[in-house]
């Protein structure tokens, strides 16, 4: 007697790697594997040379204070904040809570955004976003909300054409008064006396008949 199992061959199971299935699926749908690694950084909208210069600096917390703060920043051009070109192509600026400037890079991100911060991906915790820049007024906002709550949104107003404050010259020391020279005493002019044995001329007597 033959059993059913002997009448039909046993099925074979084939294992297909999951990676092969994923690749086949991606190729059929046009999926880009590069998208799995996240969006790539884009070029920044501004270059370091564009923002190098001297600025009046002020900050605000509320958007309605922006106009007033910009005017205050312009007054600070008497003691300007200077953004200098760094040796590695960035700009020398201060990070939060640091007294010494650090070279920062301008980094682009999706949507045409530009950030200024240390080396790394755009939009890091130490970065500042460029809210706007028209060549004269630069507005930067901290990415870290805690830092932004303390420092506010910074306005940099370019100081071209505004003379810096003049340094006060030290007071001059007064020279001691000069001693007055004693007054010269006038000597009486000598009286000349006629030389001895000199003839004495007298007027001749007049003739009474003339």
Could you read off the pLDDT of 115-124 as tens digits, one per residue?
Answer: 999 999 999 9
Higher pLDDT, 186 or 80: 80
pLDDT, average across residues 129-133: 97
- Rounded distance between C-alpha atoms, residue 35 and residue 33, angstroms: 5
CA 118 – CA 120 distance, rounded (Å): 6
Q: Which residues contact 77 (CB under 8 A, 6 or more apart)?
A: 54, 55, 56, 157, 159, 162, 164
Higher pLDDT, 113 or 41: 113
Q: How far apart are CA 82 and CA 136, in angstroms?
A: 14
R_g (Cα) of the chain, nearest Å? 48
Q: Give residue-wise pLDDT tens across range 26-74.
A: 444 444 444 444 445 689 999 999 999 999 999 999 999 999 999 999 9
At 160, the pLDDT band (50, 70, 90 cuts) reads: confident
| Residue, of 65 and 173, whose pLDDT is higher | 65
DSSP assignment string, 29-46? HT--GGGGG-PPP---SS
pLDDT in tens, 146-159: 999 999 999 999 99
- Identify whether the C-beta of residue 40 lies closer than 8 Å to the C-beta of residue 15: no
Per-residue pLDDT at 77 exceeds 80: yes
pTM: 0.60
**Tell me, what's the pLDDT at 48?**
96
Q: Tell whether the model's pLDDT for residue 185 goes beyond 70.
A: no
């Amino acid at each position: 007697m033959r059993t059913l199992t002997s009448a039909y061959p046993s099925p074979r199971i084939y294992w297909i790697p999951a990676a092969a299935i994923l690749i086949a699926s991606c190729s059929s749908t046009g999926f880009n594997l590069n998208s799995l690694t996240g969006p790539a950084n884009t070029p920044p909208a501004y270059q370091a040379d564009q923002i190098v210069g001297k600025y009046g600096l002020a900050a605000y917390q509320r958007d309605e204070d922006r106009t007033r703060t910009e005017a205050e920043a312009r007054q600070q051009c008497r003691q300007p904040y200077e953004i200098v070109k760094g040796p590695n192509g960035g700009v020398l600026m201060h990070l939060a809570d640091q007294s010494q400037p650090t070279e920062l890079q301008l980094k682009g991100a999706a949507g045409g955004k530009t950030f200024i911060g240390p080396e790394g991906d755009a939009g890091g915790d130490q970065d500042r976003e460029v809210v706007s820049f028209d060549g004269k007024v630069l507005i930067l906002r901290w990415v870290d909300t805690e830092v932004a709550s303390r420092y506010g949104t910074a306005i940099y107003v370019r100081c071209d054409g505004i003379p810096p404050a003049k340094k006060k010259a030290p007071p001059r020391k007064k020279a001691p008064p000069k001693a007055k020279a004693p007054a010269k005493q006038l000597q009486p002019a000598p009286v000349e006396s006629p030389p001895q044995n000199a003839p004495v001329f007298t007027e001749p007597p007049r003739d009474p008949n003339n």
